[in-house]
Structure 1
Amino acid sequence: MNTNPIGIFDSGLGGLSVWKDIQKLLPNEEFYYLADSRNAPYGDKSPEEILRLSIKNTEFLLNLNCKLIVVACNTATTNAIGYLREHYAVPFIGIEPAIKPAALHTKTGKVGVLATKGTLGSTLFHHTARNHAAGITIIDQIGTGLVPLIEEGKATSETTRKLLIKYLTPMLDAGVDQIVLGCTHYPFLMPLLKELLPANINVLDCGLAVARQTQKVLEEKQLLNSSPNPGLSHFYTNKSPDILKKMLKQLNAQGEAKFVDF
């Protein structure tokens, strides 16, 4: 049994959607969640800056003795996880848009992908699309402005609604029946998405797949915490913790939200 915690970092609060799925699957594990909200979004930053921030986040979590780190950010995964795996001894779990299941389940042969500029422009995204969506038409859309709105606690605001209508319309006009959320912030848009999308549209995110992969790696490396007691979760942000506290309340999450200057 390994009682060391699992570390999770994101460019902000979006990775809480991933934490929720992992914590549900592995309730006995302890978690440290790190929200780099001061630097959100990562999607419009240079690869060099994304790597620098990812290294900083990783070393913060390693100083807390984390046994595994989840890079709960699509942009950080595509730009930094290769380096992190080469330079640090702990396992890293990355995020990948759910293109494969979308391609498998589409009946129209058309899949929409809503993601950040950093994800849609990455080599990993194009590699995934080429390998798993051959013969499928992908209508991709950069979700400019969505991450800052979610970080401000405005995921269901009228401004967010107008942006989503703008971004979803080309996908719907093209006849997609699957929409992939290629950013861990975007599951917090589900209330609006359910309202705006026809019932036949299936919306996919990567949270459950990441949770299962985390469990698999912990089992393979004999790092699971088999304690019968529920694990604690700790949440850190380098911006005001007020919105973090609000989002944790929405998720019915147990754990204290703290400001940390990192």
Structure 2
Amino acid sequence: MNSNNQPIGIFDSGIGGTSIWSAIHNLLPSEKTIYLADSKNAPYGQKSKEEIIALSMKNTEFLLEMNCKLIVVACNTATTNAIQELRSKYDVPFIGIEPAIKPAVTHSKTQIIGILATQGTLNSELFHKTTEKYQDTKIIEQVGHGLVQLIENGDINSPEMTRLLNVYLTPMIGANIDYLVLGCSHFPYLIPQIKKILPQNIQIIDSGEAVAKQTQNILRDKVGFSSYENSKPIFYTNTNPKVLTEILGNKYSVTEKIF
């Protein structure tokens, strides 16, 4: 397949999808990436399906204007509620992100797993279809009310974050889970906090590495790899760029853009 130097577009309802961007960038450093943070409308998890679809279309059109060859929906809620509509409307490959339930179920010894996600993801039709496949495993669902907003505000290590995580995780520990699935792209930034609460026998799973590998597969099979040696990523946000800049380790400039 010929090389393709157009960028990969990545969007999320804020800064959380940078956990997905990081996995893609580490695996495919030669690919130019454009990351779009719709922080003004975060969190998506409390919005209606129609609102989520409309926002996802707006984000997609922004990235298509930037000539993106492939779009990664780095948001569980947008994937589970809108990716079918995106694929039917736009002539570009889409890669979504879903809670990594399959590896947790496959490896669980207690046959009890927990999933921490947004309400929009847990209520979605796609999520219910996925969980129906695993009738032999007890799946404890927990909505992470308030977590995304605290992350968006830069309050990852705040007392309120610690309090909420204890409230959400303690019942799962008591139920004897041995895997915790993080069903929101924001939540990998909470792993250091979560590890302080969970016993060591409970494994944490997120979707970043799997999405990066799927991106690599689509580039190889359908789209084409960049011929650059390495590329500088571009970041856009529609709110104050301070928190996004900080979560990127102050390594990259972030452009505030109305969209």
Which TM-score tier does this pair reach, normalised by the shorter chain?
A: over 0.9
CA contact (8 A) 2:69 2:223 kept: no
Distance in 2 of aligned mates of 1:103 and 1:120 = 17
Q: How many residues align?
A: 257
Structure 2: 5+ residue stretches without partners: none
CA contact (8 A) 2:35 2:235 kept: yes
Equivalent residue number for residue 163 of structure 1:
164
Equivalent residue number for residue 259 of structure 1:
256
Q: Give the deviation of 1:134 after TM superposition.
A: 2.7
- Does residue 241 (structure 1) correspond to residue 241 (structure 2)? The answer is yes
Equivalent residue number for residue 190 of structure 1:
191
Measured at CA, do residues 237 and 222 of structure 1 come closer, stay the same or move farther in structure 2, by a change above 3 Å? closer
Please point out which of 22, 31, 34 is paired with 2:33: 31
Q: Give the deviation of 1:231 after TM superposition.
A: 1.2
Q: Give the deviation of 1:196 after TM superposition.
A: 1.1
SS in 2 for 1:216: helix
SS in 1 for 2:43: coil
Equivalent residue number for residue 67 of structure 1:
69
Q: Give the deviation of 1:171 after TM superposition.
A: 0.5
Distance in 1 of aligned mates of 2:221 and 2:242 = 38
- The list of structure 1 runs, each at least 4 consecutive aligned residues, that deviate by more than 4 angstroms after superposition, is none
Q: Give the deviation of 1:130 after TM superposition.
A: 1.6
Q: Give the deviation of 1:255 after TM superposition.
A: 2.8
Structure 1: 5+ residue stretches without partners: none
CA contact (8 A) 1:67 1:90 kept: yes
Q: Give the deviation of 1:129 after TM superposition.
A: 1.2
Equivalent residue number for residue 81 of structure 1:
83
TM-score w.r.t. structure 2 length?
0.97
TM-score w.r.t. structure 1 length?
0.96
Distance in 2 of aligned mates of 1:230 and 1:220 = 21
Amino acid at match of 2:254: A
CA contact (8 A) 2:49 2:81 kept: yes
Equivalent residue number for residue 153 of structure 1:
154
Q: Give the deviation of 1:222 after TM superposition.
A: 3.9
